[in-house]
A and B are shown apart, each in its own frame.
Chain A
Amino acid sequence: MVGITKDQVKHISRLSKLSLSKDEVNKFQKQLGEIVEYVRTLELVKLNDTAPTSQTTELTNVYRNDLIGVDGLDQKSALSGTEEVYNGYFKVPSIFKKV
């Protein structure tokens, strides 16, 4: 079983902005490892004659014209999902630097 390493779990948690305890790292290493192994069964499929693709719908060139739509939200509706508002803005903890 290849699975994933503890360092990989820690790396993913950092990217996800989640802090994990030691126990959680062990727990997720096992769970994520199982998922990776499961996905690995795809490697059994013979694909020699199949061109690589990044999609499943076989559609191309789906565009719209540059027109302003009517399905916008007003400010009140836009902010309705949070109580953290300030003068029409969403309010978040201060961030001075991009991380």
Chain B
Amino acid sequence: MSRFIPVIGLEVHIELATKSKMFCGCSADHFAKEPNTQVCPVCLGLPGALPYANFSAIEQTVMFGLSMNCKINRFSKFDRKHYFYPDLPKGYQISQYDFPFCVKGKFQIPNSKNQIRIRRIHLEEDTAKLVHQFGDSKEKGISLVDFNRSGVPLVEMVTEPEFSDVDSVISFLQEIQLLVRYLGISSADMEKGSMRLEANISLAKAQKSKLQSEDLPNYKVELKNINSFRFLRKALNAEIKRQKRILRKGGKVTQETRGYDEYKNITFSQRIKEEAMDYRYFPEPDIPPIRFSKTQIEDIKSKIPELPAAKRKRLEEKYGISKEYIEILVQDKRRCDYFEKSCEISGNKELSAKSIAGALINQNLDRKFESPYEFIRYLKKISKKYYSSLKEIEDAIQKVLSDNSKAVKDYHEGNSNVIGFLIGQVQKMLKGRGEPKLIRESLIKALQKD
């Protein structure tokens, strides 16, 4: 039986968290707002309205591109992409065609040696939101349109089809979500639709384990309307299974768009792809092109904070804490900052980074103490209370043994009851800060040496 290797590419849409929309001054914060209350002639597509580009959105797109190791096009422009649909009031979407802001990036999949090449990252406007109404019989079979989302800045990232397993797809996407949150350019919340996923997938017949370009299949199936990582994983697995079945029987897989039915755990055809989608792109005449200077790009680059991959590496080198701890901290930037501040405050060997991370993560002490100062003060207090150092314990034992020669003699004559008494004496000397188990072990060791 021939072996098949999945060939998967991704399209990711991310809504930017700017204050205003892409081409007008309406609020871009549209989630759960009264319908059609954040609209104006521009985003309703009324005749004569003119788009006026939001610079923050452009800057954030470039920042994202730089973080994905893309080349930034020094010359760029917007184009009109035409299609008819009720969520698109002008009959075209302002997008970017041949000069997107960012091209030719590459991005490391976390915990993997593989890099994925990024084909392009461009900026466009989001469409209106369609609500399908099933409800009462009178209004059956209508769709409702809310233009609050129309014109919200939307970034689209397209990867090369270089994923060959579903796990890599998911960890790549989770890392993108984290990165976007680090950059502070989007909440990347899939439930709210501020991050949306599409995958294209085909199967290559593989002779060797590594794919050659001539092995690439001549079709692709697009999976759309996927709204969680979990769904995407299931949809990809179901689709790989379906394509394998067809190809093993010697069949041909139709190039088309498919959705995913979670109840049946199968993908289903949404439409057969027409010739090629004919979007009749042309340059947007109402928005002058964009030219970036080198300094401008450097300037944007300087605003990029430490990103997750660099943070993981640094935490490991600087603190030597476990991979599990590192991951928990990297996933929660606020918590990580708290941890680092705590280590800085503690600043001595008494509290190791490991014990600080442990107390923070396992006991959620960052929730109990708002300030890292209080947290460290508390840690120092309990560490003193319960844990005198081994040296302190041994010194105390020596002193107690020489002060209580009668008890020591009793012990050697077989009266082990005196141990309790001796432990009490040691603890008294340590002002109750000794760990009982450690005192007992050290004491017995010392007695047997005696």
Binding site for B on A (CB under 8 A): 11, 15-17, 54-55, 57, 59-75, 78-79, 81, 86-99
Contact = CB atoms under 8 A, between A and B. Distances in A.
Interface in B256-286: 270-271, 278, 280, 283, 285
A68 B145 contact: no
A57 B288 contact: yes
Interface stretch (B39-47, B64-72, B109-117, B347-355): B39-47
A90 B147 CA distance: 9
Shortest Cβ-Cβ A-B pairs, 7 listed: A69-B25, A89-B144, A54-B283, A66-B56, A63-B55, A59-B288, A90-B145
B385 interface: no
B143 interface: yes
A54 B77 contact: yes
Given A55-B285, A57-B288, A68-B27, A93 B143 contact: yes
Interface stretch (B125-133, B167-175, B372-380, B386-394): B125-133
A91 to B, nearest CB: 5
22 contacts: A17-B84, A54-B289, A55-B288, A55-B289, A59-B288, A61-B290, A64-B52, A66-B54, A68-B25, A71-B25, A73-B44, A78-B37, A88-B35, A88-B36, A92-B144, A92-B145, A93-B141, A95-B85, A95-B130, A95-B143, A97-B270, A99-B271
B35 A92 contact: no
A63 B58 contact: yes
A57 B141 CA distance: 47
Contacts of B86: 90, 92, 95
Contact of B25 (A70, A94, A97, A98): A70
B291 interface: yes
B53 A91 contact: no
Contact of A78 (B39, B53, B141, B287): B39
Of A57, A66, A92, most B-chain CB atoms within 10 Å: A66
Contact of A16 (B24, B39, B84, B288): B84
Contacts of A70: 25
Interface residues of B, number: 53
Nearest to B16: A66
Contacts of A57: 288
Contacts of A95: 85-86, 130, 132, 143
Given A67-B25, A68-B27, A94-B132, A78 B36 contact: yes
B142 interface: yes
Interface of B: 18-20, 24-27, 34-41, 44, 46, 52-58, 77, 82-86, 130-133, 139, 141-147, 270-271, 278, 280, 283, 285, 287-291
Contacts of B52: 62-64
B96 to A, nearest CB: 12
Given A16-B84, A94-B143, A62 B25 contact: no
Contact of B26 (A63, A72, A94, A96): A72
B55 A89 contact: no
A81 B47 CA distance: 12
B270 A72 contact: no
A72 B40 contact: yes
Of B34, B52, B145, most A-chain CB atoms within 10 Å: B145
A71 B43 CA distance: 12
Given A64-B54, A66-B18, A72-B39, 17 more contacts: A15-B82, A54-B77, A55-B289, A63-B52, A63-B55, A63-B58, A66-B55, A66-B56, A67-B20, A68-B25, A69-B26, A86-B133, A88-B35, A90-B146, A92-B145, A94-B141, A95-B85
B143 A67 contact: no
Given A66-B56, A78-B147, A92 B142 contact: yes
B34 A68 contact: no
Contact of A89 (B57, B145, B278, B287): B145
Given A63-B54, A63-B55, A72 B38 contact: yes
Contact of A68 (B26, B37, B142, B270): B26
Contacts of B83: 15
Contact of B36 (A60, A75, A97): A75
